[in-house]
A and B are shown apart, each in its own frame.
Chain A
């Protein structure tokens, strides 16, 4: 089991990452808090060491995505996803940042992780394939389709 100091360090370092993934998947604050507790509890109880900081970060991303998916699989959660307003930690409505974020969040679920991991976290298709446990070619396909959908929605900017 990891020390309390280690837990606090991980919360400071990865809270934003966990929060962003929660936003990609979830639509209310209570679920986000559940995921925070689940992810950091798993971290504290994990005894195996991480090979590197990248390994640790990838672990957090994978565990958070899986926790979100598990939560959404629950019958009750699937039936009740109120579109609560995000609190002050998200871009203000009307801003370009908000417009982009809304466009990403409006994508079908299977594209959102890929967009987040590639465009924000900077992972390659091969790395995304490892994190999401998907075939690399599938990741490429998802990236291409997501890119076209975002381009169409945002009507600007030449995608990579």
Chain B
């Protein structure tokens, strides 16, 4: 029995390939054989991971910073729009007509907090001239309702110090439509109101009108149809009296 069992186990050997794989495993795992590059990579690994993380944070941060989350549309005759990021900074200034371009050219509001930007714009001499002769409409629209509510409040505070400024909260759904039509959100909202009252109104007609002219039409059509002018959400602070039916 002893001999038989010994003979049986004697016939069992570890083959050369298994031994070689074990040597290679130890060489790789313990002795880093032929692994200068691997060692360097291993040492650089954490630094590379940190660099990648930093890059991702920078890219992500830059994306966050430069992406507007809300738009403040400023429409008198000049029509322009400020893009506000999630940090409440102005990151884009887009003009939608020639007067708007002229106004935007004289402003330096990028990277400013939107409150400062609004004060600066409303204090601008050219804008003051427009406000004495017409209506300045401020419209906020964006996906983030909380941010829009804060901006709306700030707009109203700012507007209370000026004549003929109306504030309005626009719908975030209309931002894309407005931009594709080449209009600011504020003016596009006014166009939609006018379109309800007069289905023949075209985008081109409205694009060439000042806000004063658009409101005048809205008010006229509403009176003709015997209804309240559907601009109740607009708050008059002084001046022409649109929305109060005493024009």
Task: Tell yes or no: A12 within 8 A of B by CB.
Answer: yes
Shortest Cβ gap from A71 to chain B (Å): 16
B-contacting 9-mer, from A48-56, A73-81, A112-120, A129-137:
A112-120
Q: Mark B1-44, 1 if CB is under 8 A from A, else 0.
A: 11011111111111100110111011101110100000000000
Which applies to chain A's interface (DSSP): helix, strand, loop or mixed?
helix
- A97 near B25 (CB under 8 angstroms)? no
Given contacts A33-B18, A44-B30, contact A97 B11 (CB under 8 A): yes
Bound Cα distance from A91 to B30, whole angstroms = 34
Task: Tell yes or no: A41 within 8 A of B by CB.
Answer: yes
Question: Which residues does B use to contact A, with CB under 8 Å?
Answer: 1-2, 4-15, 18-19, 21-23, 25-27, 29-31, 33
- A90 near B26 (CB under 8 angstroms)? no
Task: Tell yes or no: A4 within 8 A of B by CB.
Answer: yes
Contacts of B18 in A (CB 8 A): 15, 19, 32-33, 36
Given contacts A36-B18, A44-B30, contact A96 B4 (CB under 8 A): yes
Contacts of B1 in A (CB 8 A): 119, 147, 150-151, 154, 157-160
Known: A19-B13, A89-B12, A101-B8. 4 other contacts (CB 8 A): A11-B23, A19-B12, A33-B21, A36-B22
Bound Cα distance from A57 to B30, whole angstroms = 22
- B23 near A8 (CB under 8 angstroms)? yes
- B12 near A41 (CB under 8 angstroms)? no
**What are 25 sample pairs from A and B whose C-beta atoms fall under 8 A apart?**
A4-B30, A7-B30, A11-B19, A11-B23, A12-B19, A15-B14, A15-B22, A19-B13, A19-B14, A19-B18, A20-B9, A33-B22, A36-B22, A40-B26, A44-B26, A88-B15, A89-B12, A89-B13, A89-B14, A90-B11, A96-B8, A100-B7, A101-B9, A157-B1, A160-B1
Contacts of A151 in B (CB 8 A): 1
- B22 near A40 (CB under 8 angstroms)? yes
- B14 near A37 (CB under 8 angstroms)? no
Shortest Cβ gap from B14 to chain A (Å): 4
- A98 near B26 (CB under 8 angstroms)? no
Task: Tell yes or no: A70 within 8 A of B by CB.
Answer: no
Given contacts A12-B19, A89-B14, A147-B1, contact A7 B9 (CB under 8 A): no
- A157 near B9 (CB under 8 angstroms)? no
Bound Cα distance from A37 to B9, whole angstroms = 22
- A91 near B12 (CB under 8 angstroms)? yes
Contacts of A33 in B (CB 8 A): 18, 21-22
Question: Which residues does A use to contact B, with CB under 8 Å?
Answer: 1, 4, 7-8, 11-12, 15-16, 18-20, 23, 32-33, 36-37, 40-41, 44-45, 87-91, 96-98, 100-101, 104, 115-116, 119-120, 147, 150-151, 154, 157-160
- A120 near B6 (CB under 8 angstroms)? yes
Residue on B with the closest CB to A121?
B9
- A104 near B12 (CB under 8 angstroms)? no
Shortest Cβ gap from A148 to chain B (Å): 11
Contacts of B25 in A (CB 8 A): 37, 40-41
Residue on B with the closest CB to A150?
B1
- A115 near B5 (CB under 8 angstroms)? yes
Given contacts A11-B22, A160-B2, contact A23 B12 (CB under 8 A): yes
Residue on B with the closest CB to A116?
B9
Bound Cα distance from A4 to B26, whole angstroms = 8
Bound Cα distance from A96 to B9, whole angstroms = 12
Contacts of A157 in B (CB 8 A): 1, 4
Residue on A with the closest CB to B22?
A36
Bound Cα distance from A8 to B26, whole angstroms = 9
- B12 near A100 (CB under 8 angstroms)? no
Bound Cα distance from A115 to B9, whole angstroms = 11
Bound Cα distance from A118 to B231, whole angstroms = 101
Bound Cα distance from A75 to B111, whole angstroms = 60
Shortest Cβ gap from A157 to chain B (Å): 4
